[in-house]
Amino acid sequence: MIKAVMVMNTQGKPRLAKFYEYLPVEKQQELIRRVFAVLCGRAENVSNFIEAESIFGPDSRLVYKHFATLYFVFVFDSSENELAVLDLIQVFVETLDKCFKNVCELDIVFNYSKEMTLLENIFWIHTILDEIIFGGQVLETSSAEVMKAVEEISKLEAASNAITLIPKSASGWRSR
């Protein structure tokens, strides 16, 4: 089971946190801080694994991927295959990349300057993640299938909006 998904930037600012086992908010934030403390000390070209049991308790594993200014971190237990989870990060990032044009600007996506777009982005990122991981289990591994599902939701959004203001980013990929 996947226990948590976190995205944080290289300054340690959390950009996304989803815990599949209930944890109070303060505890979540503490865990993110501790993960960042380990990640920021790691060199390039090392493995994608770090020791997780001291942070998340027994039977925890952690893989992460570093993209531009962001760390993508997945925490899971021994029922999952480490490299398969690493692949899943890649699927998540590739899907985000397709939706938001450029993975290198993801940090901006997570911190958009326009207030509304920020919330919208967060909404879409959560929607995408929900189509990939469901209750801590891998739901879909095909980026194309995830896109299809997200597209359907975006159509519904458009239809339900009187003032049809689809997020630019979203409308951008919708026409692809």
Partner 1 sequence: MAMHGMRGLSVFISDIRNCQNKEQERLRVDKELGNVRTRFKNEKGLTPYEKKKYVWKMLYIYMLGYDVDFGHMEAVSLISAPKYPEKQVGYIVTSCLLNENHDFLRVAINSVRNDIIGRNETFQCLALTMVGNIGGREFAESLAPDVQKLLLSSSCRPLVRKKAALCLLRLFRKNPDVVNVDGWADRMAQLLDERDLGVLTSSMSLLVALVSNNHEAYWTCLPKCVKILERLARNQDVPQEYTYYGIPSPWLQVKTMRALQYFPSIEDPNTRRTLFEVLQRILMGTDVVKNVNKNNASHAVLFEALALVMHLDAEKEMMSQCVALLGKFVAVREPNIRYLGLENMTRMLMVTDVQEVIKRHQVQIIASLKDPDISIRRRALDLLYGMCDVTNAKDIVEELLQYLSSADFAMREELSLKAAILAEKFAPDLSWYVDVILQLIDKAGDFISDDIWFRVVQFVINNDDLQPYAAAKVKEYLHKPAVHETMVKVSAYILGEYSHLLARRPGCSPKEIFSILHEKLPTVSTTTIPILLSAYAKILMHTQPPDQELQNQIWAIFTKYESCIDAEIQQRAVEYFALSRKGAALMDILAEMPKFPERQSSLIKKAEDAEVDTAEQSAIKLRAQQQTSNALVVTDQRPANGAPPPVPVGQLSLVKVPSMITTEDNGTLSKVDPQPPSADLLGDLLGPLAIEGPPGATVPSEHNAVSGLEGAAEAVDGSAIVPVEVETNTVKPIGNIAERFHALCLKDSGVLYEDPYIQIGIKAEWRAHHGRLVLFLGNKNTAPLISVQALILPPGHLKMELSLVPETIPPRAQVQCPLEVVNLRPSRDVAVLDYSYKFGANMVNVKLRLPATLNKFLQPIPVSAEEFFPQWRSLSGPPLKLQEVVRGVRPMPLSEMANLLNSFRLMISPGLDPNPNNLVVCTTFYSENTHAILCLVRIETDPADRTQLRMTLASGDPTLTFELKEFIKEQLVSIPMVPRAPAAAPPAPPAAQLTPQIPANDPAALLAGLL
β-pairing, 61-67 vs 49-50, is antiparallel
* Of 104 and 134, CB closest to partner 1: 134
Report 8-67 residues binding partner 1 (CB under 8 A).
Answer: 20, 22, 24-25, 29, 42-43, 45-51, 58-59
User: Pick from 108, 161, 168, 171: which binds partner 1 (CB under 8 A)?
Assistant: 161
Q: Strand 2-9: give its sheet, edge to edge.
A: 14-19, 2-9, 70-76, 61-67, 49-50
Alpha-carbon distance 168 to 22, whole Å?
Answer: 34
**145 binding partner 1? (CB under 8 A):** yes
**122 binding partner 1? (CB under 8 A):** yes
By rule CB under 8 A, what string of x and - marks binding of each residue 93-112 to partner 1? --------------------
58 CB-near residues (< 8 Å, 6+ apart): none
Please, are residues 24 and 48 in contact by the beta-carbon 8 Å criterion? Answer: no
Quote the tokens at residue 11.
């300054």
Kindly list the residues in this chain that would bind partner 1 in the complex (CB under 8 A): 20, 22, 24-25, 29, 42-43, 45-51, 58-59, 77-79, 81-84, 86-88, 90-91, 115-116, 118-120, 122-124, 126, 130, 134-135, 137-145, 149, 152-153, 156-157, 160-161, 163, 165, 167
